[in-house]
Structure 1
Amino acid sequence: MDIDFFGLMENKLGVQVSAFPAREDAWYLPASKLLEPGVMGRLLDEFSPRIRSADRTTAATYFAGYFGGVALALQLALSLRDVVPDLSLGNLEAAILGDADKAYVRFRVVRWQEQGNDGTKARKDWCAEALSSFYRNEAMPLIASLSSSSGLHPRELWGQMPTRFRNAVVLLQEEMAGSENLLRLNSDYSVLREGLEPVRCFGLPRNPFQSAIRLVEPLKGTGKPAAIKAACCLYYKTDGGSFCYTCPRLKEEERAARRAGFAE
């Protein structure tokens, strides 16, 4: 089954190649500027009230989660298109959109450029090199800047990505059943989880994508188990917020009570 990669990237991952529309509620900036502490601090201060947060911490976890869409775009470009796109911070623009009713972050690829494997390297090595380069040179410095500006440990920020990756891969596995690209998808995901050096690529003693994904009964009657997040997104710290159903901090009896209440 053919999958519309660019449609998936724009509609599901929050990453687009088209120019951002002019909007009065938008706050735009080059992603490379986010490595400057003062700029990252201003971004978090701009984003925080839009998500009804009193401090920078929730804005930081949310932003890390949205940046996970960029990382996932790289992962799926490798698997679905067999190419490495230029998703460097210097080729990305970030935008904060919306207000307290619905605020979110999107990224734009300024110039879409991609490079395939020239055949001089085994595909697994080529994939590992592309992923290592992205996480070491782009994602890790951004996470470090988020950590410095919010006071959160990088582990909490990296933790916003693994469950999203797992859910995306599981969904694609179902859609790609019988496709020759399914093996490539699974192999590339294994490289991400097992083939990257943790300290060099993430600044952590352990690869965050190796986090064990715990499954629980879904809140809705979908029949499919729900995956517990690797780290809390801090939604409970927003005005009117609470622990999410898949929050790792939620006690099992509270999770069961929510299921029972939802079914009534």
Structure 2
Amino acid sequence: MPQPFIEDDLFEQKFRVEFSDPSQGKVRSPYTLTGSDLFAADQRDQILDRFKDLIEAPSRDVAASLFAKWYTLPMAALYAMSRYQYGIDVSPERLRVRVDKWPYFLVEETGASVCPQEGREQWRADLLRQLFSRHVDPLYRSLAEYSGLSIHAFWAHTAYVIGYWYPLWISQTESQPVQQSLRMDYRFLTQEAPAELFGPYDKNPLSTRFRTIEHPAEPDNQVRIRKQCCFIYKLPSVGRCCYTCPRLTEEERVERLQTL
């Protein structure tokens, strides 16, 4: 694993992802689940019902929506690919999961790949197919079955966070080659990638346009509005919508932004 990758605390602090080498010993005890457990109905229902109780969600649709919103493993994998040219193996059987009020992830280093000097486009396509078609899509279908929500509600969360993180990563790096990689991958994910990389779809589910408004207190800052409400306002500990929520009127949104 590249040294700068190891030292980047974004993985653990923002994405709640840790890495392990199984050859060095047993997996830590808190990670008692595999990624595959989230796809099997009986185990999934137990895991998500416990998650629902922990966050005090009033219903399964609220729990499933927030679980998908906080399922940060895909962004960690995309960050590794675009920023470090490193392919994380997110095969469900290699993934260990701990679910408390947030999902946490332990990923095996074995099975990871480094971008080849030639053939990056094929390497990227293979990584994205593994991530989305073989992991994210089955997870979202499982969440849809559990909650009764449309699978497109979960994809809307993913499209939104990709549109948040990539521009931020681009703005935070001074390296031209890294910026170029981030820009190319962002464009590919949201505009060029064929639908078959994501699952049995006719259209790329990440190819979504978001409405933006001017921040009332920061004229140079554009606020991107979500396509799908995440239902966080239904949690007793929160009680109000995100300022990016499509449920808000413009007056309510401005009021929320001015209080931040």
Q: Confirm or deny that 1:229 pairs with 2:226.
A: yes
What percentage of aligned pairs have identical amino acids? 25
Aligned partners of 2:57 and 2:216: how far apart in 1?
Answer: 26
2:23 alignment counterpart: none
- The two structures have a TM-score, normalised by structure 1, of 0.84
Q: Confirm or deny that 1:212 pairs with 2:215.
A: no
1:220-241 per-residue CA deviation (whole Å, 9 max, x = no partner) reads 6595322222321111222252
CA positional deviation for 1:32: 1.0
CA positional deviation for 1:14: 1.7
Q: What pairs with 1:29-178 in structure 2 (closer than 5 Å)?
A: 29-67=33-71, 69-97=72-100, 103-119=101-117, 121=119, 123-178=120-175
Aligned partners of 1:42 and 1:218: how far apart in 2?
Answer: 41
Letter of the 1:163 counterpart: Y
SS of the residue aligned with 1:247? coil
Q: Contact (CA 8 Å) 1:235, 1:242: kept in 2 or not?
A: yes
Q: What pairs with 1:8-19 in structure 2 (closer than 5 Å)?
A: 8-17=10-19
Q: Which stretches of structure 1, 4 residues or longer, exceed 6 Å deviation after superposition?
A: 2-5
Q: Contact (CA 8 Å) 1:128, 1:195: kept in 2 or not?
A: no
SS of the residue aligned with 1:61? helix
Q: What is the RMSD computed on CA atoms of the aligned residues?
A: 2.6
1:7 alignment counterpart: 9
1:188-244 per-residue CA deviation (whole Å, 9 max, x = no partner) reads 122212333336624444323211122223476595322222321111222252221
1:39-59 per-residue CA deviation (whole Å, 9 max, x = no partner) reads 111111101121121111111
Aligned partners of 2:89 and 2:73: how far apart in 1?
Answer: 11
Aligned partners of 1:44 and 1:206: how far apart in 2?
Answer: 29
Could you tell me which runs of 5 or more consecutive residues in structure 1 were left unpaired when the two chains were aligned. 98-102
CA positional deviation for 1:178: 4.5
Aligned partners of 2:14 and 2:219: how far apart in 1?
Answer: 20
Q: Confirm or deny that 1:196 pairs with 2:193.
A: yes
CA positional deviation for 1:112: 4.6
SS of the residue aligned with 1:17? strand
Aligned partners of 1:6 and 1:179: how far apart in 2?
Answer: 19
Q: Contact (CA 8 Å) 1:58, 1:237: kept in 2 or not?
A: yes
Alpha-carbon spacing, 1:21–1:116, altered in 2? closer, same or farther (3 Å): closer
CA positional deviation for 1:165: 1.6
1:108-129 per-residue CA deviation (whole Å, 9 max, x = no partner) reads 11445421244563x2232123
SS of the residue aligned with 2:203? coil
Aligned partners of 1:109 and 1:230: how far apart in 2?
Answer: 31
Q: Contact (CA 8 Å) 1:155, 1:204: kept in 2 or not?
A: no
